[in-house]
Structure 1
Amino acid sequence: MKEFIICFTENKWYSLDISNDEFIEDHEISFRNKYYTFQVSDFIRELKSRMFKINPEIINLESFDKQFSQKGKDLFDFKKWHILKALRREEIIDSHYQITDLKDFLLEIKDLINKLKENSDAEHYRFNNIELKINEIIHKTSFEGIKIDRNILDTKCFNIHKAIYELKNEFQFLHNIFQPEYSETQSHYLKNKNYKILVSIENTIGLLRKSDVICEKFHKLNRLIKDLKTLMMLKSRLGGIDLVNPYFVGFGSITSRIIIKEPSLQNLRKENRDVIVPNAGKELFYIDYSQFEASILAHCSSDSILLNLINSTDVYADIVNKIYDKEVDEDSRKEAKILFYRYLYGDTFENNPKFKKKVDTYFNKFSKLSKFKDDLIRISIEKGYVETKFGNIRKLDLNNGNIWILSHLIQSKASYIFKKAIIDTYQNVKKARLLIPLHDGALYEIDTKESVNIKSQIINIFKETFQKECSLLTNVQAKEQNFYSK
């Protein structure tokens, strides 16, 4: 198999043969080759236009860079990745570099690939055994497309436009907050309330939405705007009248989550997901892990109290009872889940002393978990990185507090388990097609005639994969959930 770096410009595909640096104008694409590119969507559209039946092996340079660079800076905001930024970061080009010679540019990219490959053996193992297989699956989905209902899409766009207008008026007239959609406005509000920023402004807003009415409105506005952008991109008809060919990044975040960037189907709220429909003779099946990250944390820490809660009852229900002193229902359980994530992200709840005392009292009972967290932070700081079992190492920025050390470890393991389950399903359940991977769940399109059997197979694979990676868990939950709003 030959390896090429390939890019499209001036209505041609140009390539560089990695083995001998041969520069090829108007490259003849072959499914037998391996291609590195930062233009994955364009490349897949080219394959469709040429009526390819088998996709070649495609390496997304964005995904490759995010995995092998092992750095968090600039990677939280995955939308801002650019090949030139990556080349500058690794000091392959300087800030004055301009693309004047295409062969020279592709040679610079080759240097980037080689430099990134010099990183740990664990990343090579993960790349070859996990990421390449995930690439095959997501690029196949992108090539085949996802069906959408145009009539529903048009109605959704109109209604969301109206909802955004009404909510912005509410901010202005009831709360004296102007331009609430701006990140700067939301950041100013959080700082005035002395809230700790957890990962990002948007993430912090989401985690605070159950305890702060303004954050709840910011969160709603953010979700509406995201949904509208996604739906408007669906209207662009890049995949044809009834199909969309989304752009996947297999290693899309620093914790290796699969990200769908264009359009962002993963972020659609449940009430807007019904634009996604199955093909004839098919139906949609959504499988979801329960207590996913909490269960991983219980296994990794070997905390017997937390393990008992996970294995016998429900840790989120326990939080509702012990901290919020409420009846357990869907809303209160969501509130407890958010609290758990805030703890995982390093929130210290300093702005609310009475609530902080209740939270500290609750989590301090997990003595082994507390020791595990303290030891992990200490060892990671000594080494200068957070180490996971199968790659996904992240180097620390020692000037940045590193409150995310625990969350990186748990979320990285979650991504690994989830990807393993997706790969095993792909290899063993031939009549199931992955459409949308979410954080702890996946939407499949399956044959209607064999749906009962196919669902059972997928559920078993998801459970067995989780159980194999977290052997201390005795009550792994993976089951069918409602993908649309109830």
Structure 2
Amino acid sequence: MNKYITMLIGSQWHSLNVHDFNDYKNELIYNFQNTYITFQTSDLIREFKSKESKRLPGIIDLESFDKQMSQEGKEFREFKNWRVLNFLRHNRVIDSKFELKESNFKMLLELLATLYLRLLEKDNTEKERFEKIETHVNKIIYERQLKGIRIDSNLAKQKCSELEKEIYKIKNDLQLEHNIFSPDDEKFQLIYLKSKGYNIIKSSLYTFKVHRNEDKVSKLLYELIRKQQDLDSFIYILSHWGGKERTYPDYYGFGTITSRVILRQPSLQNFRKSNRTIIIPDKGMKLLYVDYSQFEAGILASLSDDKDLIELYNTDIYSNLAENVLENKTLRSDAKIIFYRYMYGDNTLSENSKRFFKKFKKLEQYKQKIDVEISTKKKIGSVFGNYRYSFNDEHVWSLSHVIQSTASLIYKNALIRVRKEIRNVDFLIPMHDATLYQVDELQFDQLKARIEDIYKDEFKKICSKINVRINSGEFAEETN
């Protein structure tokens, strides 16, 4: 088996053997025993699809590979968006004067091959994780990208029309009531958040979500961004290659620094529930949604070994938080946001919220332990890699990274086992802590029970203190 760095320029593929730079060709070598390393994963999958291939060789996406092996937060990167030349510049392989031209195509592939091998050997734990987990997850997601997902195109057109009207109304409200004329501008959004004294939690979008109940502008901007994201995805679905019945999302196996699987173009996993109805199963199949109940909260309770928090999981941590902090048990989704803010080290939590968490003594001790660990070791992660490095004293994200990277590890292990052990089940979409499958409609209940058992078992292997609950059922019945 050979590994090739591959690159498409114009209509011409270029391939270089990472272990033999003399093995260079101005073409793509079609051999399913090979592994292809590329920053153009979707183009590569389309190339194999054009050959009517029903299967794929091994594929390594360079952007996801870089995220795993480098484990640097965006704050330590000069370039916001991942690009191959930015990747090389950041790692000081080329300088700002480098220009891609026909005479240096081979040189570029040689530089990428050298950097790939260097990063692969950077950390033995990450290398082992890559080989035992990430390559198997890649196989699952890229095969789905090859096959695509069935959609209702007529319903998608209807949704487009509805969203356009809703977005127009929100922009009108922002302009007429708040004198905001460029709500789409990311710089404006950051300036607005700063002017209100809001700490950025994960992203501008999530920060708007956090403050949407206390600030009308934040609510409008949150709604605007979410609806625009859905509209962009619908437009992509209707205009992109694939025909009227299927869409072919771009999957990223290590899509975030906590290694969550994400979709780009179209971002089906981020659709609001009301818009997910365009996803339909293939003939003879039925959609099944499988979701971990209180996923991150349960992980935190188990890892901290806080008996009070563990006991609370058995009822509902978020409902209890809503009742004690927000004085309204029905505000569960708002309480969940407070929990994430605590986990992310947000120091702007209300005094009432702070008192709630201080009740859990072992949880507070565990949080302090994480702070000490990252201050001394300068890195933090799950029990199996997925480290994030700290290069300064700003690491409020440390607890969140431990919990979310652990969640990703559990989730990926469950994906791999379902794929390995159960037939008549097709992975479709990762949805944060949940998965959308399509299963044989004649065996729906039986397959549902088997999948639930695997998800529970993988959680128990890492978080043994919690008797985890799984929410599952038909997609139309999906709940938080």
TM-score (normalizing by structure 2): 0.95
Q: Is the 8 A contact 1:271 1:484 kept in 2?
A: no
The whole-number CA distance in structure 2 between the counterparts of 1:51 and 1:211 is: 54
Query: Match for residue 369 of structure 1?
Result: 363
Post-superposition shift, 1:388? 2.5
Separation in 2, partners of 1:276, 1:63:
26
- Counterpart residue number, 2:41: 40
1:428 and 2:421 are equivalent in the alignment:
yes
Determine helix, strand or coil for the equivalent of 2:300: helix
Aligned pairs for 1:314-353 within 5 A: 314-326=316-328, 328-329=329-330, 332-349=331-348
- CA shift, 1:95, in A, is 1.2
CA shift in 2, pair 1:322/1:482, >3 Å: farther
Corresponding residue to 1:131 among 131, 134, 139: 134
Which amino acid in the other structure matches residue 315 of structure 2? T
Alpha-carbon distance change, 76 to 181 in structure 1, aligned in 2, over 3 angstroms: farther
Q: Is the 8 Å Cα contact of residues 417 and 465 (structure 1) preserved in structure 2?
A: yes
Task: List aligned pairs for 1:1-400, cutoff 5 A.
Answer: 1-21=1-21, 22-73=23-74, 80-100=81-101, 101-310=104-313, 312-326=314-328, 328-329=329-330, 332-349=331-348, 356-398=350-392
Structure 1 counterpart SS, 2:92: coil
CA 1:226–1:76: 2 relative to 1, 3 Å: farther
Q: Retained in 2: the 8 A contact 1:66–1:75?
A: no
Match of 2:461 among 452, 455, 468: 468
Secondary structure of the corresponding residue to residue 5 of structure 1? strand
Q: Distance in 2 between matches of 1:485 and 1:476?
A: 15
3-state DSSP of counterpart to 1:450: helix
Distance 2:129 2:83 in 1: 23
Name the Cα RMSD after superposition: 1.9
Q: Give the letter for the 2:361 counterpart.
A: S
Worse-matched range after superposition: 5-14 or 149-158: 5-14
Moved more, 160-169 or 367-376: 367-376
> C-alpha separation between the residues in 2 aligned to 1:477 and 1:159?
34
How far apart are 1:325 and its partner, in Å? 1.1
Contact 2:456 2:468 in 1 (8 A): no
d(CA) in 1 for partners of 2:287, 2:470:
20
Contact 1:265 1:436 in 2 (8 A): yes
Distance 1:210 1:373 in 2: 28
**2:460 matches 1:458:** no
Q: Does the Cα contact within 8 Å between 1:75 and 1:81 map onto a contact in 2?
A: no
Preserved contact between residue 463 and residue 478 of structure 1 (Cα < 8 Å)? no
Shift of 1:74: 5.9
Aligned-pair identity (%): 38
Change (3 A) 1:376 1:408: same
Aligned to 1:417: 410
> Quick check: 1:134–1:423 contact (8 Å CA) kept in 2?
yes
| In structure 2, C-alpha distance between the alignment counterparts of 1:176 and 1:394, rounded to whole Å | 41
Cα deviations by residue, 1:24-75 (Å, 9 ceiling, x for unpaired):
1123311111110111111111111112232100111111111001211269
State the 1:337 CA deviation. 0.5
Q: TM-score, normalised by structure 1?
A: 0.94
* 1: CA distance, partners of 2:236 / 2:425: 26
DSSP 3-state at the match of 2:20: coil
- Shift in Å at residue 182 of structure 1? 2.1
| 2:68 match: secondary structure | helix
Matched, 1:440 2:433: yes
8 Å contact 1:75–1:254 — kept in the other structure? no
Q: Give how far 1:284 is off.
A: 0.7
Specify whether residues 29 and 484 from structure 1 end up closer, same or farther in structure 2 by C-alpha distance, changes over 3 A only: farther
Q: What is the distance in 2 between the residues matched to 1:236 and 1:77?
A: 33
Identify the match of residue 404 of structure 1 among 388, 397, 408.
397
Deviation (angstroms), 1:151: 0.5
Unaligned runs of 5+ in 2: none
User: 1:237 Cα deviation (Å)?
Assistant: 3.2
Distance 1:78 1:465 in 2: 37
Deviation at 1:483, TM superposition (A): 5.0
Measured after TM superposition, the shift of residue 187 of structure 1 is 2.1
